[in-house]
């Protein structure tokens, strides 16, 4: 037989595009359209429905950036269409390639009942099936003219990312507003041909199945009369019946399709628009559930569910019914799909506390899975947090984006820093926006790395990022792929059903130990510095507010602010979403975030001050309130008292220029350039700074990644560096015992104050940067005379080691990484730490000196600022303040303690006397991360702590009040049924802890 394959395949494409797809709607009549443009921000639904619109024609421009327009469409179904299916086709000016990234609409009936959402891949509204003819049609569309930020030429700077700079130019052209006859037979033929054509393209050219499909398609095309597609479509469908009925082979890969719409809680749109995106998507999905009996939809992010409940009660009622029917599934058990690298220990725990509690309270449903398809890598402390929240599975897809190394598993157990293992799945379909294309399904089967021992994978199916969800076309394709020869099999299932099957068939999967590092988007650890500072400071303010409010409640009957703390926690958790905290959202988002952090900071400070005043009582004694988990100036952790008087620090001129700082513990030399050329540990008789090098060295790099500007820093940025060694001023600080340094470069200015606190082993660096650079990367370097093959960086409830070398491509790819409060490295018997109050990105490199002692220089560089121009062209412009400290001669315990100290500055209040801690822990390796009252209002005291040094520990916790009972709980403060019961003697509670073990205790007050 002659090879006519290419001829038939080309024929299929043209006939589908030019004849069959257009015949889905063979007849149409125009609707009358009128529009009212809401002034300013979106208005309530009732106001939009009641507004008086003005006529508008198809072809007219509409929609200022970020505007809202209310369209009214009216018409009459022709009498001649009686008995047929009729739909309204409502095209607001869509580009079908941009679902979620364009204008969108939500359709209402005149009584305010929502019908469904409109987006580029979902432009229809069913009027009747069948119609009687003569029906009056009246629909209202709340249309959002969200501008396109990520266009066909992506990453170009744009002012459209903030309504204050976006202008008023109309963004869209009204394209089609019609009533049309819907020919379901032709629509089914389109799906048949698409499924078979896409499958055919994925099969080997020499396979019999491919040629069998080709001949069936050819017969179907022969059966279609191109001048009467509607009259001959049924005949064409019949030609495909047998080839669609051929069952899959027994060894076929099995895909659990989960209806999905990954909706970024903010990204290229503001938070207020996400509220509406969620309403549109949930309206669509509840409608699809009603039409498609096998379809199951899962939605994560409790915050988004809460938005629907609060802002769209009419949609919420439909959602609740679908949940009760088991078809609309709460997923993930987190408040938002957060970043997991940067949130602190307690914040990461509270993501699960608030997320799981919302689904339990609203639906009585508990999630066993963490659902984070789009998060930019996963910290090594996360597995035990997932387990401590009562969950056991994790799903993500993002690691498939790694640029350098291909992750070796799709299903595996992930082991965290404490040894906890979580059953984890990466969908081999390699997208969280699967559309049931044959290429996607075939890729999932081919790509699955666990063949031979497992055969199940999951496919999140539906348009996402900006929402939209699953379409009827996807559902129809999945029905044909349920059992089709040559394809993986597809069935709609819940996440729980998938994980139960996957774990049952693969009880001993491989194990991956340590962080799940994404080899991409590394600059998200630095972009939008003020958003990151707001997060870090809010986390610590929440710790203080809970600690002092709980202490005051127990000690003096202070009213514990349950509702305020709950609300503020949820606000902080929302802003940890994986495009807000990472700094990859539009200007509007970060402008609002800065204002939000300022507002909640003031509110939390108010709670703290009120509680501390209540505890201090009347008096004139100056008290130091110590919020840190370690003693400070003689004041115990979590208590208040008169601070011990420390020694002094001497500041003297240095030979050759500059100054010497000496406090009897460290001697610091700052040269005439304002660089630290010596940090001498007097007790150890050891220099910290590598010979011939200088610390406090600001370094400036060009920063223009190949793509994803706010997200990425590419390794070639290191090829060019400018050391900022010229100083405008090096002089004593205002206090007379510090050094003040001023530098100018480009259009920017840096002012630093270097302080050596009396009697302490730390050099504090306060840095103010008035930053006005573009596409530059600013680093602060500490070249240390330490020979270390690995270093530790703090993560949730512990720390994680990374190599300082680049032996393998996996190690070389980690050229920018995340830390929380410290980075630490050591030789046996001596170490050094660099701690920070608000930065996350850093790099650590090592070189061997070729002259002199030929020792090793290990350089720690903290990342301060970037200046990408997309999606926010003004990223980080303005004044920033950072605080860092160099801690020579440190142990890992010193690094932990100094990290807390820098992030929880002292508070001084006048009062009558000491305040005893609510709880004390007699072991420095055991760190208390939270002291609070139980969320249920019982008055029980909840204490969360962990082993922080990476060793075994015997912890004795002593309560400062009479205890009637002690319970070990999960993060949701529910009793745990395990073998970790503590020994209790009165108010003394003793436990043995594994390395990095996390424990939550609930203490019932007598």
- Residues with a known catalytic role: 374
Question: Which candidate, 949, 948, 996, 940, places its Cα nearest to that of 968?
Answer: 940
Q: Residue 618 to residues 393, 560, 911, 914: CA-CA distances in angstroms?
A: 53, 21, 5, 12
Tell me the C-alpha distance between 164 and 587, whole Å: 10
Within 10 angstroms of residue 177's Cβ, the number of other Cβ atoms is: 23
Angle of the 271-291 helix axis to the 472-480 helix axis, nearest 10: 50
Contact yes or no for 23/186 (Cβ under 8 A): yes
The DSSP bridge pattern shows strands 297-299 and 328-330 to be: parallel
Peptide bond into 871 cis (omega under 30): yes
> What distances in angstroms separate CA 609 from CA 541, 625, 630, 985, one per listed residue?
11, 10, 21, 34
Closest listed residue to residue 946, CA positions, set 159, 444, 348, 412: 348
Q: Quote the DSSP letter at residue 718.
A: G
Question: Residues of 944-972 as b/e, b for ≥16 C-beta within 10 angstroms?
Answer: bbbbbbbeebebbbbbbbebeebbbbbbb
Contact 641, 655 (CB under 8 A): no
725 half-sphere exposure, CB direction, 13 A CA radius: 10
How many angstroms separate the first and last alpha carbons of the chain? 90
In which region does residue 746 sit, left (phi positive, over 0), alpha (psi from -120 to 50) or beta (all else)? left
Phi-psi category of 430—alpha, beta or left, where left has phi over 0 and alpha has psi -120 to 50?
left
Q: Are 913 and 619 in contact (CB under 8 A)?
A: yes
Contact predicate 698/724, CB 8 Å = yes
Backbone angles phi, psi at 165, to 5 degrees: -120, 0
Pairing relationship of beta strands 776-784 and 817-818 according to DSSP bridges: unpaired
**CB 924, CB 893: distance < 8 Å:** yes
605 Ramachandran zone, left/alpha/beta (phi>0; psi -120 to 50): alpha
Nearest-angstrom CA–CA distance, 54 and 56: 7
- Name the phi and psi angles at 348, rounded to 5: -65, -40
Q: How many residues does the chain have?
A: 1006
CA distance 134 to 574: 49
Q: How far apart are CA 202 and CA 441, in angstroms?
A: 9
What tokens does 248 get? Answer: 């899959």
| H/E element, 954 | strand 953-959
- The rounded distance, in Å, linking the Cα atoms of 374 and 46 is 36
Q: Which residue has the tokens 């390639």?
A: 97
Q: Is 924 helix (H, G, I), strand (E, B) or coil?
A: coil
Q: Cβ(350)–Cβ(314) under 8 Å?
A: no
| Four-residue CA torsion sign, 229, 230, 234, 237 | positive
The answer to whether the beta carbons of residues 531 and 266 sit under 8 Å apart is no
Give phi and psi for 232, each to the nearest 5.
-120, 0
Check: CB of residue 637 under 8 Å from CB of residue 904.
no
Rounded to an integer, what distance in angstroms lies between the CA atom of residue 488 and that of residue 443? 10
Rounded CA separation 407/15 (Å): 41
């Amino acid at each position: 037989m002659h090879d006519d394959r290419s001829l038939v395949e080309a024929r299929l494409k043209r006939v589908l595009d030019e004849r069959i797809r257009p015949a889905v709607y063979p007849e149409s009549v125009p609707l009358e359209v009128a529009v009212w443009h809401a002034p300013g921000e979106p208005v309530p639904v009732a106001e939009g429905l009641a507004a008086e619109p003005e006529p508008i024609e198809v072809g007219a421009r509409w929609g200022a950036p970020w505007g809202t327009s209310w369209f009214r469409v009216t018409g009459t179904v022709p009498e001649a269409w009686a008995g047929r299916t009729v739909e309204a086709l409502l095209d607001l000016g869509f580009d079908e390639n941009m679902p979620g990234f364009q204008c969108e609409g939500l359709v209402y009936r005149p009584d305010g009942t929502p019908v469904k959402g409109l987006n580029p891949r979902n432009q229809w509204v069913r009027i009747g099936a069948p119609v009687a003819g003569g029906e009056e049609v009246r629909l209202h569309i709340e249309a959002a003219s969200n501008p396109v930020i990520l266009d066909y030429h992506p990453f170009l700077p744009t002012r459209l990312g903030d309504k204050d700079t976006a202008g008023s130019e109309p963004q869209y052209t009204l394209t089609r507003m019609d009533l049309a006859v819907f020919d379901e037979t032709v629509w089914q033929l389109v799906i048949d041909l698409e499924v078979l054509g896409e499958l055919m393209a994925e099969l080997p050219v020499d396979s019999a199945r491919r040629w069998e499909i080709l001949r069936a398609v050819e017969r179907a095309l022969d059966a279609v009369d191109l001048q009467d597609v509607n009259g001959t479509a049924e005949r064409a469908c019949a030609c495909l019946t047998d080839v669609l009925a051929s069952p899959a082979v027994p060894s076929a890969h099995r895909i659990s399709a989960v209806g999905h719409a990954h909706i970024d809680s903010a990204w290229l749109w503001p938070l207020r628009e996400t509220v509406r995106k969620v309403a549109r998507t949930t309206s669509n999905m509840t409608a699809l559930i009603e039409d498609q009996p096998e379809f199951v939809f899962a939605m994560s992010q409790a915050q988004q569910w809460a938005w629907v409940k609060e802002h769209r009660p009419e949609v919420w009622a439909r959602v609740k019914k679908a949940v009760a029917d088991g078809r609309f599934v709460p997923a993930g058990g987190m408040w938002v799909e957060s970043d997991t690298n940067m949130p602190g220990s307690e914040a990461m725990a509270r993501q699960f506390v608030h997320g799981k509690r919302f689904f339990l309270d609203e639906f009585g449903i508990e999630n066993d899975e963490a659902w984070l398809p789009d998060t930019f890598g996963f910290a090594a402390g996360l597995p035990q947090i997932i387990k401590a929240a009562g969950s056991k599975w994790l799903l993500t897809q993002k690691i498939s984006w790694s640029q350098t190394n291909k992750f070796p598993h799709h299903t595996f157990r992930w082991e965290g820093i404490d040894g906890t293992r979580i059953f984890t799945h990466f969908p081999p379909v390699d997208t969280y926006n699967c559309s049931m294309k044959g290429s996607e399904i075939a890729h999932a089967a081919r790509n699955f790395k666990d063949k031979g021992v497992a055969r199940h994978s999951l496919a999140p199916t539906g348009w996402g990022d900006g929402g939209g969800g699953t379409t009827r076309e996807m559902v129809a394709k999945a029905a044909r792929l349920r059992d089709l020869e040559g394809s993986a099999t597809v069935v709609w299932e819940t996440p729980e059903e998938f994980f139960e099957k996957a774990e049952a068939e693969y009880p001993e999967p491989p194990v991956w130990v340590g962080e799940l590092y994404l080899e991409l988007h590394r600059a998200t650890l630095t972009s939008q510095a003020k958003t990151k500072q707001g997060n870090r400071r809010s986390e610590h303010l929440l710790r203080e507010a809970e600690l002092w409010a709980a202490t005051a409640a127990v000690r003096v009957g202070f009213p514990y602010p349950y509702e305020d703390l709950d609300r503020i926690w949820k606000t902080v958790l929302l802003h940890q979403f994986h495009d807000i905290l990472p700094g990859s959202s539009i200007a509007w988002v970060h402008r609002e975030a800065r204002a939000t952090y300022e507002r909640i900071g003031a509110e939390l400070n108010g709670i703290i001050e009120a509680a501390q005043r209540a505890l201090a009582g009347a008096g004139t004694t100056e008290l130091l309130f110590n919020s840190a988990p370690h003693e400070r100036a003689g004041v115990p952790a979590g208590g208040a008292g008169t601070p011990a008087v420390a020694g002094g620090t001497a500041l003297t001129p240095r030979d050759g220029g500059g100054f010497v700082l000496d406090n009897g513990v460290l001697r610091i030399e700052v040269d005439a350039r304002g660089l630290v050329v010596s940090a001498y540990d007097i007790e150890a008789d050891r220099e910290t700074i590598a010979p011939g090098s200088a610390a406090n060295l600001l370094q400036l790099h060009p920063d223009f990644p190949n793509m994803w500007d706010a997200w990425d820093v590419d390794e070639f940025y290191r090829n060019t560096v400018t050391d900022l060694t010229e100083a405008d001023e090096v002089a004593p600080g205002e206090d007379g015992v510090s050094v003040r340094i001023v530098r100018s470069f480009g259009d920017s200015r840096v002012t630093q104050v270097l302080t050596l606190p009396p009697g302490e082993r730390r050099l504090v660096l306060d840095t103010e940067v008035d930053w006005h650079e573009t596409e530059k990367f600013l680093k602060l370097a500490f070249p240390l005379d330490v020979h270390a093959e690995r270093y530790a960086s703090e993560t949730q409830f512990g720390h994680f080691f990374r190599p300082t070398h680049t032996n393998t491509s996996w190690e070389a790819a980690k050229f920018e990484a995340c830390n929380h409060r410290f980075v630490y490295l050591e030789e046996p018997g001596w170490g050094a730490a660099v701690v920070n109050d608000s930065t996350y990105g850093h790099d650590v490199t090592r070189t061997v000196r070729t002259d002199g002692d030929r020792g090793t220089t290990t350089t720690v560089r903290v990342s301060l600022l970037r200046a990408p121009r997309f999606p926010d062209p003004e990223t980080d412009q303005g004044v920033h303040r950072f605080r860092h400290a160099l801690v020579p001669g440190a142990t890992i315990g010193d690094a932990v303690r100094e990290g807390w100290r820098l992030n929880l500055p002292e508070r001084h209040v006048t009062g009558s006397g000491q305040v005893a801690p609510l709880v004390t822990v007699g072991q420095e390796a055991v760190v208390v991360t939270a002291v609070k009252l139980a969320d249920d209002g019982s008055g029980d005291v909840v204490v969360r702590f962990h082993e922080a040094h990476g060793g075994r520990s015997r912890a004795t916790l002593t309560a400062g009040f009479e205890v009637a009972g002690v319970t070990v709980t999960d993060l949701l403060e529910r009793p745990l049924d395990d073998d970790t019961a503590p020994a209790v003697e009165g108010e003394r509670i003793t436990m043995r802890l594994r390395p990095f073990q996390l424990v939550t205790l609930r203490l019932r007050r007598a």
